[in-house]
Amino acid sequence: MTNTNPSVEIKQLDLSFGKVEVLKNLNLEIARGEFLVLLGSSGCGKSTLLNCIAGLLDVTGGQIFINDKNVTWAEPSDRGIGMVFQSYALYPQMTVEGNMSFGLKNAGMAKDEIKRRVDKAAGILQLEPLLARKPSALSGGQRQRVAIGRALVRDVDVFLFDEPLSNLDAKLRTDLRVEIKRLHQQLQNTMIYVTHDQVEAMTLADRIAIMKDGIIQQLDDPNTIYAKPRNKYVADFIGSPAMNFFKGEIKDGSFSSPEVSMDLKGYETVDGNLPNTNAWLGIRPEHIQSGANTKGCSFVGDATIEIVDPMGSDTLVWASLAGQSIRVRTEGQSSLKVGETLKIGFNADKLSIFDTDTELRV
Amino acid sequence: MSLSDAEQLNEAVKPPSKLFKNLTAKIAAIPMILTALVIFIGCTIWTIYHSFTKSRLLPSPDKWIGLDNYERLWSENRWIVSIENLAIYGICSLILSLVIGFCLAALLDRKIRFENTIRTIILYPFALSFVVTGLVWQWILNPELGLQNVVRNLGFENFTFDPINNADIVIFGILIAGIWQGSGFVMVLLLAGMRGIDEDIWKASRVEGIPTWKTYIFIVIPMMRPVFVTALVIISAGIIKVYDLVVAQTSGGPGIASEVPAKYVIDKMFQSQNLGLGFAASTMMLLSVLVVLIPWAYLEFGGKKNG
């Protein structure tokens, strides 16, 4: 990581299928040893971008560099990458060992070197007891570990993951997610990881690139993305349940809408001044205080409780504030009841405010 | 509800008789069960029995002559030629139609342009009856009208290609026609199988730098085993019963050079009016099918219980 050259560099990448432009003038630099997550809803171009990096799709324009080598037109196998797929893509008639060694054998590598690498990868991923089994005799999580092992034995600098956990059930997904994170800490390789699951993105990533319509909306570390989304799309996409939005107007440092009127003193703007404009005011459900905690808040109001979702660790309340539905996250063991009035309030420092025309953060 | 109530309830509700479970489905299956029992098994047994009798034009169950029909069958040159022809035709046709069909399917699978058009053209012969195929290839292979004549007219005066008229290679003339008709179907079957293979497998093999042909041989073909078994069964059935193609293309000639067992059976039964001999020949055909089928079925279905 002392090397300042980027591990993967993408310059002005374009990709179109006929008239459909999937990626538009995309630039991306990924540092050595970085864990980058490409996050977006389906059809946003994140898997397409990964396939371009892997060389499985021919780009329409632009260039791709891996380890300072221009690989825009290189074969996937010559790029120094390993890839893991959502459907595992294991060779079903070969054993685990066969799956991991087939590519190396094919490359004409010496037998003892193959064995050394397979044993090492099997050790890292705890696959030793499974080496003689066939994929059909493995569980989903084990299969995906084998697929990771197959990428590992290639001894490459860049790993690409294409939604590797999407086919697993919730419990296994969490287990394997931790394992991938541990793997990254151990190997310190560059990893590019595509997912639509924001929990995976938030927990794994050094930086997240949120994509929409083939354009990177924001590229930042998870905390920044969560706390200071650059535009309304990112704010809406990240966080579950989603951010609450109120449409209103900023005038002389205060916001007013039919539901919320408040002084914006304490809000950190992007460029230091607060314009007078129509704006979206966004507040995350967990930043809304309720009950006695509302004391001293810049905005305090009364909402009617519509639905209560006890989640164990916290409780989600769906309430109506002056006719608009809002989501509030409160403490776990609450005794709130439907129909009651809930006192809510929030401060300006936790807000996200977006211009209604540009949808950019102000 | 008290405990005694529950006991009463248990007594009152008995599981329904297994015989009447899914009654509609059972009734619907009766015609097919009868067909299987009477036509397939019953008629097979009837045929085998009558192959041991001296039946001529009509079945005569009381004239038992033991293995005489079989002795006569195996001493007849025409039957031996038929078996040899079937062996050559069968092995060549099986291998070639699978190889050609697979190669065509693999070519079409490479996301080429006009795939639908090409697929239709290649599959088209399959829509023709064997009689039409036989006639068409009779003309193409006819030395005076067909391919040989065309090439000679181009200037190659000594070019000779007359499988229809040459007793030594006439069976290969039939083979060409058979493959022309059958490989399109094999191609479509295998293409469907290839399309069922996960796109990611191909991506994975590309990332690992495995050449396309190796991916086909070591990864894709083993994955397509069920499709290959289906194709194999369909081709084999077509080979054993090959009859109309021969009748239309060569009528078994020149001489008896392109006779096949199915034609032998029909000729004996309806032209020579020797039912007994015809039955003996068809029993031999059944036997040869079983010799192949039983070990295969044992391997395919018997092995699964253990593994």
Q: Determine, for residues B198 and A81 on separate chains, whether the beta-carbon distance falls below 8 Å.
A: no
Return the structure tokens found at B185: 């179907």
Per the structure, the count of domains in chain B is 2
Return the structure tokens found at B77: 């040159």
Does residue B1 form part of some domain? Answer: no
* Residue from the list A76, A93, A106 with its beta carbon closest to the beta carbon of B207: A76
> Could you tell me if B22 and B134 lie in one domain?
no
CB of A258 within 8 A of CB of A329? no
Return the structure tokens found at B227: 């499709």
Does residue B58 form part of some domain? Answer: no
Which residue in this structure is represented by tokens 């002056």? A322
CB of A249 within 8 A of CB of A257? yes
pLDDT at B302 exceeding the cut of 70:
no
> Could you tell me if B84 and B178 lie in one domain?
yes
> Could you tell me if B115 and B211 lie in one domain?
yes
Cβ-Cβ contacts under 8 Å for B89 (sequence gap 6 or more): B171, B174, B175, B178, B239, B242, B260
Return the structure tokens found at A7: 């591990």
> Could you tell me if B43 and B83 lie in one domain?
no
Average pLDDT over residues A216-225: 93
Does residue B132 form part of some domain? Answer: yes
> Could you tell me if B139 and B39 lie in one domain?
no
Going by C-alpha positions, the residue among B100, B102, B91 that lies closest to residue B224 is B102
Chain B residues inside the 8 Å CB shell of A53: none
Percent of chain B with pLDDT over 90: 24
Q: How far apart are CA A233 and CA A212, in angstroms?
A: 9
Q: What is the pLDDT of residues A138-158, one digit of tens each?
A: 988 899 999 999 999 998 989
Chain A residues inside the 8 Å CB shell of B219: 91, 93
> Could you tell me if B22 and B82 lie in one domain?
no
Q: What is the pLDDT of residues A92-140, one digit of tens each?
A: 999 999 999 999 998 889 999 999 999 999 998 889 999 999 999 998 8
* Three-state DSSP state, A321: strand
> Could you tell me if B143 and B244 lie in one domain?
yes
Which domains are seen in chain A, by residue range?
Answer: 6-235 (3.40.50.300), 243-355 (2.40.50.140)
Residue B158: which CATH number?
A: 1.10.3720.10
Average pLDDT over residues A257-268: 88
Q: Residue ranges of the alpha helices (H) in B156-224? A: 170-195, 199-207, 212-214, 221-223
Q: What is the pLDDT of residues B282-294, one digit of tens each?
A: 999 888 888 878 8
pLDDT at B279 exceeding the cut of 80:
yes
Q: Which amino acid is at A270?
A: V
Going by C-alpha positions, the residue among A176, A207, A203 that lies closest to residue A88 is A176
pLDDT at B19: 78
Does residue B65 form part of some domain? Answer: no
Chain B residues inside the 8 Å CB shell of A78: 209
Does residue B98 form part of some domain? Answer: yes
* Bridge partners, A330 (sequence order): A315
Does residue B12 form part of some domain? Answer: no
Element at B293 (helix H, strand E): helix B275-297
CA distance to partner chain A, nearest, from residue B191 (Å): 19
What is the greatest pairwise CA distance in chain A? 74
Does residue B138 form part of some domain? Answer: yes
> Could you tell me if B27 and B130 lie in one domain?
no
Q: Determine, for residues A89 and B201 on separate chains, whether the beta-carbon distance falls below 8 Å.
A: yes
Q: What is the pLDDT of residues A339-358, one digit of tens each?
A: 989 999 999 888 999 999 99
Q: How far apart are CA A38 and CA A201, in angstroms?
A: 8
pLDDT at A259: 87
Does residue B185 form part of some domain? Answer: yes
CB of A234 within 8 A of CB of A220? no
Q: Determine, for residues A54 and B214 on separate chains, whether the beta-carbon distance falls below 8 Å.
A: no
pLDDT at B107 exceeding the cut of 60:
yes
CA distance to partner chain A, nearest, from residue B91 (Å): 27
DSSP assignment letter at B266: H
> Could you tell me if B84 and B176 lie in one domain?
yes
CB of A319 within 8 A of CB of A303? yes
pLDDT at B304 exceeding the cut of 80:
no
pLDDT at B1 exceeding the cut of 50:
no
Chain A residues inside the 8 Å CB shell of B198: 87, 89
Going by C-alpha positions, the residue among A195, A197, A203, A190 that lies closest to residue A35 is A190
Q: How far apart are CA B43 and CA A2, in angstroms?
A: 84
> Could you tell me if B137 and B189 lie in one domain?
yes
Substitution target in B197, B201, B207 with the highest count of A β-carbons within 10 Å is B207
Which residue in this structure is represented by tokens 């006779």? B259
Residue A304, burial from CB neighbour count under 10 angstroms (0-12, 13-18, 19+) = middle
Going by C-alpha positions, the residue among A303, A292, A283, A300 that lies closest to residue A353 is A283
CB of A207 within 8 A of CB of A220? yes
> Could you tell me if B42 and B81 lie in one domain?
no
> Could you tell me if B254 and B117 lie in one domain?
yes
Round the CA-based radius of gyration of chain B to a whole number and report it.
27
Query: Domain limits at B30?
Result: 17-50
Going by C-alpha positions, the residue among A302, A310, A295, A287 that lies closest to residue A342 is A302
